[in-house]
Chains A and B, each alone.
Chain A
Amino acid sequence: MRKIGVSEIEDIALGAALLGAGGGGDPYVGKLVAIGAVKECGPVTLLDPEEIPDDALVVPIAMMGAPTILAEKAIGGTEYQTLYDTVSAFYGKPIFAFMPIEAGGVNSMLPIAAAARLGLPLVDCDGMGRAFPELQMVTFTIGGGSATPMALVDEKGNSSIFRTITNKWTEELARAVTMACGGSVSVSLYAMEGKFMKEYGVKGIVTRSQTLGSAIRRVKEAVDCSPEEQFLRITEGVRLFKGKICDVLREVRGGFNFGKVLLEGIAGDKGRQAYVEFQNENLTAVADGRILATTPDLICLVDTETFQPVPTDALKYGKRVLVVGLPCFPLWRTPEGLALVGPRYFGIDTDYIPLEERCKGGADHV
């Protein structure tokens, strides 16, 4: 058990933006929502998953909708109380703690705000260990968990909770409600008992985000190596490519942000070409025709000078980025995990090979 205050939030936001693997939204507004709540209501208690009783009700909190709308409307502040009331009435028992569902700029932050405003603890655990674009892409699905009953509330006070027959229905209904409510709503989903969370959750993710964030912030303080080496050391990342963005191709289909960023090698990668494909999050990294990494491993683009994560919506011609691969949570590498989030699910015609094997001997050795 430990406390999360404003300085911890700064680091968690930065680290989670890296783990967002290109998605997860702009950490700035999410961070302000969390900081605003903590300044108003006091620090949040972070609990280790092992501190949660097996039968306690644990509820992940997130937002659904467009990050650009969140950047205008933020949140109202009463949404979390409404969510609490709706969910606890449905289950007929109190909520013991909140938790994040994914690591990313926005959804890592909102559960902190919820916990602060309601005086509930936050669990150091999520369902992805990174960000993914679709609702069913959580480790809890592997364990047979269901997104519903899912509750949605808006800042105006509207609330709904529904059970659905398939994930597709959940997605469709949730989207319809989100749009009707103005494009951005607070949600709770995958409500679960402590025992299930401990079995399938990605444990220690809040702490990992914080450690990464703090290390990125201090990356230039390294004395015995270059900032780039230090960055790779602290993230335990594999250096995939360093390049300048020479084109960004974007397309919006079915509410998702698809695209491809083309890179021209710089420094040690001069003369080489690479690209990264994304669907909200980065899916594959390919250099000189050879695949270097694929989902579910994390493909992260960071600024070559500041090592700040560059989300897919901020990719811009001329920007210089370092492409880094981070190994995903082990459960994603099982057949069940790969069926949910492996390359073939996203229409990429290749088998999943772990990042460490693909890049054995360095990303520039074929």
Chain B
Amino acid sequence: MPEPKGFFTDTTVCIGCKACQVACHQWNDLPAGHGRSRSELPVLSGNSYDNTGSFSDVNWRHVKFIEQPLTQGPNRVAWLMMSDVCKHCVNAPCLEVCPTGAILRTEFDSVFISEPACNGCRDCVSACPFGVIHMSESRGVAQKCTLCYDRLKNEMVPACAQACPTNSIQFDTIANLKRRAEQRVSQLHREGVRAAHLYGADDKVLGGLNSFYLLVDKPEVYGLPSNPKVPSRSVVQSSFWGIMTAIMTGLGMLFAFRSRTTRSPLDRAETQKPAAGAKERPIT
């Protein structure tokens, strides 16, 4: 069993370049675009340099831009940037609520949606306190970051972390990341950045986040809940149900799987094409 792996995102070195978003699109064959038909680009949001706005079924990474007016000190503005992603929570509410067992915990301790098993019920969408999971309207399945499970299986770093020019997104074993993150916080404290702190590195947030952050302001400033709701059911119960559901759905799932995996990911754009109307052609 490999060690748990994940992301440590040091927002103090994020330059908001969005390479992570594009690398994610590229590796996972996700189309650009906006709205239900995804036939149009977004319009200028006016919200700093964030024009994709949120996670979506095709935006598994999302870079946030926070412009803060300053009244003291030499600068009149601070500009915080942060690349956000699925937290791969240790106590993952999505996994807890999934009725079909489609949401799995992998050997890397990441949280993975097995598409063939997803029945499109949306329970996970509402359970996620971070707004990570979205439904693909065209395909009827829940979508989110896979921590590049396929790359991990092939001993490659997730696409976003590999692309990140400044090492804001670091991928490693959780143990190594925590060590590095604590060193970085202490360095920043020594350099006078007193506000530097870690979010999700310990077990206070949903038992720990396998994607945790170094922040220099309150989590809410970054759109992160300080104290997200834990799942209503207990761990034992949920794992019991998870196992039972998995057993019960196992056979049927495998059938469904065969019929759907004949399609290559490169055909995704094709399947997202609405039945009628050439104008609705998605932008790939």
* Co-assembled chains A and B: no
Interface residues of A (CB under 8 A from B): none
